[in-house]
Structure 1
């Protein structure tokens, strides 16, 4: 069995049987490409059916040597395990070599967040006199107001906006849909963009249902949102390392700090496991510690 046909079959399995999104399929494919590169670098070339547990352990060492951080190592390992499970299921191999492979221990790090004041500063820095201004305001108000991933924002559709009841339908990881509440500021910004600006944009065929469009009438890219946010942060003098995901972290952090129920936050973020959401309880503890340090007379 050659690598290319095995990887192609794996991609089809992830897309059709596991119903994974294009982004997830691409991420898994990159992981297996790493394994393929490793196999090609060996003195004796490895094939998918000849790889052993020892080879995979050597692969982990190789991944570390090329500079992958523990979280990336764990993700690559997860992709490899899924790949070999697929090969086993399709009877392309008789033994899964990844079964006893252990993932590296990952120390959960606290994500960077923005304060409410910093988010207000970023949104206030948007030039609303430019055609893209109202759109950018609507994007960042929606992402922060509903905790969206950047991919969820670019894929947001007009047909999934229920602004009269203050909800939007979001398609998250694995094409899973969820209903998320949306605040009044985000609704106001969306209505201005949709009803006053977007209506005058010539829209490309097939792009009519996407909420956020570029000046050519096509849906935005994640990169464009990233660059816009970085530029605005620099304009207002924010030195933190931020990305569109920072708005999502800030959304969750501010909810937890305000006393929101963790299960409700999990539901809004679309986390499959409450463990993922629990990182924000650690953030909350850090916030409480810093508050005591700053304001308690004995600290």
Structure 2
């Protein structure tokens, strides 16, 4: 088997059969490229790869002190790859099938309290067009719990502000409706009416909501930089990202008594167990309240 043709077919399989996002496809292909490089180093053909060889490969990767989460994701990618080889290339064995993932502890997401979110938004310079746009961005991230990819790909044609809903395309191109609150609607309309309407929009970006000063779709990196800069301005000593607003959105809903199934639908989680992590955040919050205020603590 030729590595280049196999990788090309694997990418097509992930796009058409699995319907994965570009980010997920890139991650899977990166896993396969790591295995390809190791096979080349050991002078082993893809047909000759067996379970023992994969164990050696994983031990080699582990020497670089990668996290258990990264190891588990790598193994998941390899299992998908060899399942593909069985399906499309009629490979008889599945050398990754019996390999066990490292035991993972559930990591609590970092969240912001309402005062920190208010402080970040208040630090935005509203005297500039970018500031008006950035305020709308933060209100959308926190008010709708969007992933950063969903935010930058948000379309004008998917805004239903008169009924207070937006439609987003999540992982695997799955669409979902999310309610949008008054604050987010207010600042989104200000941005659309006062800033975006005056911009020279480049071809292909006519339906994109959030644009840079040149009229092109914002990148994920740009959203990260906007948030990091605001955190620096207010002296926030937390490691935050656009996803922190999503975590905060969910955590504050759960703290307020929202139904977990409703939160799951709004976040676009396939499994309720992914959403349940926010009940742990809520318990941590309650524990901190007892520790801080109970006379026997």
TM-score range, shorter chain: over 0.9
Task: Name stretches of at least 5 consecutive residues in structure 1 with no aligned partner.
Answer: none
Matched residues in 1 for 2:200 and 2:190: separation?
A: 17
Q: CA deviation at 1:290?
A: 0.1
Matched residues in 2 for 1:213 and 1:251: separation?
A: 24
1:154-175 alpha-carbon deviations (Å, 9 max, x no partner):
0000000111111110111111
Q: Aligned-residue CA RMSD in angstroms?
A: 1.0
User: Where does residue 119 of structure 1 map in the other structure?
Assistant: 117
User: Where does residue 289 of structure 2 map in the other structure?
Assistant: 291
Equivalent runs, 1:126-137 vs 2, <5 Å:
126-137=124-135
1:14-69 alpha-carbon deviations (Å, 9 max, x no partner):
11121112111111111111211222222xx2232221011111122122112210
Q: CA deviation at 1:265?
A: 0.8
Matched residues in 2 for 1:243 and 1:144: separation?
A: 12
Equivalent runs, 1:131-170 vs 2, <5 Å:
131-170=129-168
- Which 4+ residue blocks in structure 1 deviate beyond 3 angstroms? none
Counterparts in 2 of 1:37 and 1:67: CA distance versus 1, 3 Å: farther
User: Where does residue 2 of structure 2 map in the other structure?
Assistant: 2
CA contact 1:3–1:47 (8 Å) conserved in 2: no
Matched residues in 2 for 1:259 and 1:46: separation?
A: 56
- Correspondence 1:223 to 2:217: no
Matched residues in 1 for 2:61 and 2:180: separation?
A: 42
1:104 counterpart SS class: coil
User: Where does residue 175 of structure 2 map in the other structure?
Assistant: 177
1:208 counterpart SS class: coil
Q: 2:261 aligns with which of 260, 263, 266?
A: 263
| Greater shift in the superposed pair: 17-26 or 81-90 | 17-26
Q: CA deviation at 1:72?
A: 0.7
Matched residues in 2 for 1:159 and 1:60: separation?
A: 46
- Correspondence 1:88 to 2:86: yes
User: Where does residue 102 of structure 1 map in the other structure?
Assistant: 100
2:48 counterpart SS class: coil
Task: Name stretches of at least 5 consecutive residues in structure 2 with no aligned partner.
Answer: none
User: Where does residue 186 of structure 2 map in the other structure?
Assistant: 188
Q: CA deviation at 1:92?
A: 4.2
| Greater shift in the superposed pair: 199-208 or 47-56 | 47-56
2:218 counterpart SS class: coil
Q: 1:77 aligns with which of 75, 78, 83?
A: 75
- Correspondence 1:57 to 2:55: yes
Q: CA deviation at 1:128?
A: 0.8
1:180 counterpart SS class: strand
